[in-house]
Amino acid sequence: MKTQTLDMRLIRYLNLFGKITGVNCKNCFSYNNLLFFAVPSALISRAIGKQGQNVKRISQLLHKKIKIVSLPRNIEDVERFVSYIVEPNRFRRLEVSQDEIIISSNKQEKAALIGRNKTRLLELQKIVQEYFGKRLRIA
């Protein structure tokens, strides 16, 4: 996993997340107007809080919808990680080759994954590059 470039806005989000949840998080990114916090899988329930109260509180303070995802440990976690990010959209198959990740889906799902003006595709490509060091292609 490569290191993520942080700007001041993301640093503020990470500090707020840490203060509210008590979980030290170093990974934050946005996709499709959602803010994602990637935490180790052992700390997910602690980060979410009782009945999701931490998620609700952070969401209210930031005026953004947020999701907490499990930090991928290695390349085997790529399918679970990507499917959770693009949810509720789905894809048929995900293949990992030497230097790229290929997502296969039907026409309608492909359009939803790419988004208007390729915005979702570009966001997802950036995320995959940061976490797995591979290029992403949708077929």
Q: What are phi and psi of 93, to 5 degrees?
A: -150, 150
Which residue, 44, 41, 119, 129, is CA-closest to 82?
Answer: 129
Q: What is the pLDDT of residue 2?
A: 52
Q: What is the pLDDT of residue 3?
A: 56
DSSP annotation string for 5-34: P--HHHHHHHHHHHHHH-----EEEEETTE
Q: What is the pLDDT of residue 73?
A: 87
- Walk me through the domains of the chain, giving residue ranges and CATH numbers: 8-70 (3.30.300.20), 75-134 (3.30.300)
- pLDDT averaged over 10-residue windows placed end to end, the chain, 139 residues: 71 94 91 94 94 95 94 89 91 90 92 93 93 91
- CA dist 47 and 53 (Å) reads 9
